[in-house]
Amino acid sequence: MKYLRSIMLSLALLTGISTGASAASPVTVTIDGELQKYTQPALIVEGRKLVPMRPVFEKLGAKIGWNQEAQSIVVTTGETRVELKVGSKIAKVNGVEVELDIEPLLVNENTLVPVRFVGEVTDSKIDWIEAEQRIVITTKSDDSKTESAADDQVLMSASSGQKIVKIEIEKVDGTRSTGNAILIREGLFVTTANLLDGATTAQVVLENGQTYSVQGVVVSDKDLDLAVVKTDELTDLVPVSTGSAQFAKMDESVSVLVADRKEAQVVSGVIRGFEDGAESLAISAELPKTSAGAAVMNDQGEVIGILTGQQSEAGHVAVSLDRIEPWLQEELAQDFTELSASFPAAQLATVSTQAQEELVARLGAEHTAISTAAGKFLLGKWSMRTEDGKIVITSQIDANQYLDYVKNFPKIKSEVEKQAQSIAELLTEQLPSQAITLQVSYVKDFAFKPKSFGAEEVENRDGKWWVTHPILSINIGEQTDTIVGP
């Protein structure tokens, strides 16, 4: 039962019967340095490396059998017994039923299983040399002889082709910063969103000194701290090999490749914790300050995460690359030439502080109240700031008048909308081509937690419950959206 948990995780990798195997890439396999020859070669299917089950297991000392009564394949090694059925999602590990995500893959009458599964069952080390498209399997007895060489090959594979690079950024306030980025598709690099906050220009710098100008940000999520940038031209480089952090284990060794140095630096680390399942990893390692955006690799040379600039009690926080999969399927699925990219903060650089102050003063003078047939609802505390590449303008309705505003809203809605339109026209006139958000809110503190507002509108500060409830919102971008409410 020593490897029961690991085997159960590995079983989830089993690839189902699929016609997609015809488009898979063949790879070679070595076991303890000896090149293997199979009638059915190992394959890469949907990013997963699969090997023919019988010859690999038998070479590693496992026994393959057939349970006639259960109609299942039986793999026995040491104290571990695994039963599998082609076409079934149910497997048994030492008698314990495990539900697979998909069935085992049958190709040319050969059963193929993920090589990581083989490693877990036989306690062997698995490495991947991308430049040679080769799987390297090392048994425990031979591991000490080849560990250093295999590690060097894995790291060379990760850095070859200039896949993990330095990114240099110039910001709206005139400062400069550097970090790391990872090539995930031709011309597309993933890095941290916080690193790009306020960026107006950027370039990626390869290890050989070649540079590519960055056109802008294609997609970004500050909560995830991930962003994807697009270069002005295709990079003609091979993207990194990626793996899933879902199969990472506590205390598993990883390597962190930091490109933001005079020479690429490889730092050994250990996984010390998980957050939100395996969506974030805590890495214990001695890392340089400029490690934001660095790649976290497993022992197969696959990138499974990207370092943020944050730290938890357990170590440096890395975001799983699994989190960008929805982007790859949606926002980034278009042809490279059709992908839209920009630096929102670049437009802010053209708006002087004086111009912003003048606009706030004008709003405060011309829009002192929402004027309606039911009376005037006073506005105040106009302010402006920049956030996530946008100009954000806020104001507050007189808290003492809010209940009257709510009571009369059905009758005055059209008048409120008309004034909102007037404000929107003023903003587009004064700040053309700018991304702007304006919000007028009801703001008040309570001694108790009010229940009539959304959870995101209520915050506890210094023992009081503060409500910030928007009653008017204007968003100006490619189009103008206006929302009013009670």
Residues 384-414: tens digit of each pLDDT: 887 766 788 999 999 999 999 999 999 999 9
Query: Of 160 and 189, which is predicted with more confidence?
Result: 189
9 — pLDDT class (breaks 50, 70, 90)? very low
153, exposed or middle or buried, with CB in 10 Å at 0-12, 13-18, 19+? buried
Q: Identify the pLDDT of residue 190.
A: 95
pLDDT band at 25 (very low <50, low <70, confident <90, very high): low
Q: Is the dihedral of CA 233, 236, 240, 241 positive or negative?
A: positive
The pairing of strands 436-446 and 464-476 is antiparallel
Please give the average per-residue pLDDT across 249-257, as a whole number.
87
C-alpha span between 283 and 291 (Å, rounded):
12
384 compared with 416, residue with greater pLDDT: 416
Q: What are phi and psi of 243, to 5 degrees?
A: -130, 175
Question: Three-class SS string for the chain?
Answer: CCCHHHHHHHHCCCCCCCHHHHHCEEEEEEECCEECCCCCCEEEECCEEEEEHHHHHHHCCCEEEEECCCCEEEEEECCEEEEECCCCCEEEECCEEEECCCCCEEECCEEEEEHHHHHHHHCCEEEEEHHHCEEEEECHHHHHHHHHHHHHHHHHHHHCCCCEEEEEEEECCCCEEEEEEEEEECCEEEECHHHHCCEEEEEEECCCCCEEEEEEEEEEECCCCEEEEEECCCCCCCCCCECCHHHCCCCCEEEEEECCCCCCEEEEEEEEEEECCCCEEEEECCCCCCCCCCEEECCCCCEEEEEEEEECCCCEEEEEHHHHHHHHHCCCCCCHHHCCCECHHHHHCCCCHHHHHHHHHHHHHHCCEEEECCEEEEEEEEEEEEECCEEEEEEEECHHHHHHHHHHHHHHHHHHHHHHHHHHHHHHHHCCCCCEEEEEEEEEEECCCCCCCCHHHEEEECCEEEEEEEEEEEEECCCEEEEECC
pTM over 0.75: no
Residue 429, C-beta contacts closer than 8 angstroms, at least 6 positions apart: none
Is the model's pLDDT at 337 over the cut of 70? yes
The predicted pLDDT at position 15 comes to: 36
- Identify the pLDDT of residue 346: 66
Burial of 303 (0-12, 13-18, 19+ CB in 10 A): buried
Mean pLDDT value of segment 293-321? 88
| Burial label, 433 (beta-carbon count in 10 A; 0-12, 13-18, 19+) | exposed
- pLDDT for the residue 462: 82
214 C-beta neighbours (distance < 10 Å), count = 25
In which band, very low, low, confident or very high, does the pLDDT at 145 lie, cut at 50, 70 and 90?
very low
Report CA-CA distances (Å) from 246 to 89, 271, 275, 288, 350. 19, 13, 11, 26, 44
Return d(Cα 392, Cα 435) in angstroms, integer: 9
pLDDT at position 348 is 61
Q: Tell me what pLDDT residue 231 has.
A: 95
More confident residue, 2 or 54: 54
Dihedral sign from CA coordinates of 112, 116, 117, 118: positive
Q: Give the mean model confidence (pLDDT) for residues 411-435.
A: 89
**Mean pLDDT, the chain, as a whole number?**
82
Q: Are 298 and 164 spatial neighbours (Cβ–Cβ below 8 Å)?
A: no
Least confident piece of the model among 149-153, 295-299, 311-315, 337-341 = 149-153
Q: What is the pLDDT, as a whole number, of residue 386?
A: 75
Cα–Cα distance between 168 and 201 in angstroms, integer? 8
Token pair of 402 as six digits: 């809010």
Mean pLDDT across 87-101:
71
Residue 152 has pLDDT above 60, yes or no: no
Residue 350 confidence (pLDDT) above 80? no
Counting Cα atoms < 13 Å in the Cβ hemisphere of 127 gives: 27
Greater model confidence, 443 or 162: 443
Vertex 482 angle, CA 477 and 486, to 5°: 145
* Long-range CB contact pairs, 399-403, < 8 A, 24+: 399/442, 399/443, 399/444, 401/377, 402/442, 402/444
Report the greatest alpha carbon distance in the chain. 88
Q: What are phi and psi of 21, to 5 degrees?
A: -60, -25
pLDDT band at 371 (very low <50, low <70, confident <90, very high): very high
Q: Are 134 and 44 in contact (CB under 8 A)?
A: no
- pLDDT above 70 coverage of the chain, percent: 85
Task: Choose the weakest-confidence range: 290-299, 319-328, 346-355, 457-466.
Answer: 346-355
Confidence check: pLDDT of 375 > 70: yes
pLDDT in tens, 64-92: 888 877 778 888 887 788 888 877 777 77
Residue type at 124? S
